[in-house]
Amino acid sequence: MMISLRRMNAILQKDFKDFSRNLAVSTVLIMPIGLGLMYGRAGDHSIEYHFMLINLAFAMVATYVQCCLIAEEKEKNTLRGLMLSPASTTEILGGKSLLTFILTMFVVVITAYFAEYKPANIGIMAVAFILSSFFYIAFGTLLGLFSKSVMEASVIVMPVVTVFSLGSFLPTIVDQYPIAKVGMYLPNIQLIELATKVEAGSGMGDVLVELGIILAWVVLLCILTAVIYRKRMVD
């Protein structure tokens, strides 16, 4: 199947205009950046703090915004219009994710800059960030498909935001509660472990396990989203 870039671009541009006028959702972008500024000035530069912020930026922008965008299309009945158009599922979801992806990358980079996080190896971290953003966007799409309105979307996305941002402190309690070890395989924790290794001077070959686990999450969620989309949109 041919993917029409023109259509994806049309959806991207439409979403950008729509998003920039939707203050209820677009003001979310300010939060991670603002916190980044504050923590940057506070002078605590441990890797956990940096990654609490970066994971918060991922969850707040990628998941929250994507979830609200999809839920609004459903609420306003416009998703049906898109589905009746010649645009395929890939083009619709791709076009929407593209906007979220650009916003996420923008906010994450700015936040990291303000928080004065300087990775030892920018190349590896960039790959890890891009992979992580795929995970968060797929998660947002999935939640958006489950919710019927923007209101509902912004509520069900909250636990996700909490788990993935504050969850960055999970490694500190894992010795007390062995059960928390399961949580160590979450993509946000993997991202932190990867970053710690990078700071210690590891190269690409040493972090393949962490990247692999994040990639597995991305694949899992993409499959889940595709299945739910088919199922939800038929009825």
Partner 1 sequence: MSLHFINAEKRMYDSIIFPSFDLSIGLGSVVAVYSSVNVREQVIELLLENTRLSNGEIRVGESSVSYNKHKMGFFFLKDSLYERLSIEEMLYFTKRLYSSNESIEDVIQTVQLDVKRKVKIKQLSYSERKRVQLACLLVQDPEVYIFEEADQNLDLESKRIFLMILLQLKQQNRSVLILTGNMESAVTMSDKIFRLDENGLHAVHMEEGNEDHTTSAEELTPIVESVLPVRFEKIPTKINEKIVLFDPPEIDYIESNEGQSYLHIKGESFPSVSTLNELEARLLPFGFFRCHRSYIVNLQKVREVITWTRNSYSLVLDDKDKSTIPLSKSKMVELKEMLGL
- Positive or negative: CA dihedral 59, 110, 107, 27: positive
> Among residue numbers 22 through 41, which ones bind partner 1 (CB under 8 A)?
22
CB distance 148 to 71 below 8 Å: yes
Among 6, 27, 46, 179, binds partner 1 (CB under 8 A): 6
The verdict on 148 binding partner 1 (CB under 8 A) reads no
**Residue number with CB closer to partner 1 (65 or 82):** 82
Name the strand (E) or helix (H) holding 41. Answer: helix 30-42
CB distance 37 to 114 below 8 Å: yes
The verdict on 81 binding partner 1 (CB under 8 A) reads yes
Taking CB under 8 A as the binding criterion, the range among 13-21, 99-107, 117-125, 173-181 that sits at the site for partner 1 is: 13-21
Among 62, 70, 82, 198, binds partner 1 (CB under 8 A): 82
Q: Is 21 exposed, middle or buried (0-12, 13-18, 19+ CB in 10 A)?
A: exposed
**Residue number with CB closer to partner 1 (87 or 195):** 87
**Residue number with CB closer to partner 1 (69 or 207):** 69
CB distance 117 to 54 below 8 Å: yes
CB distance 15 to 96 below 8 Å: yes
Using CB under 8 A as the criterion, which residues of the chain lie in contact with partner 1 when the complex forms?
4, 6-7, 9-11, 13-14, 17-18, 21-22, 76-78, 80-82, 84-87, 234-235
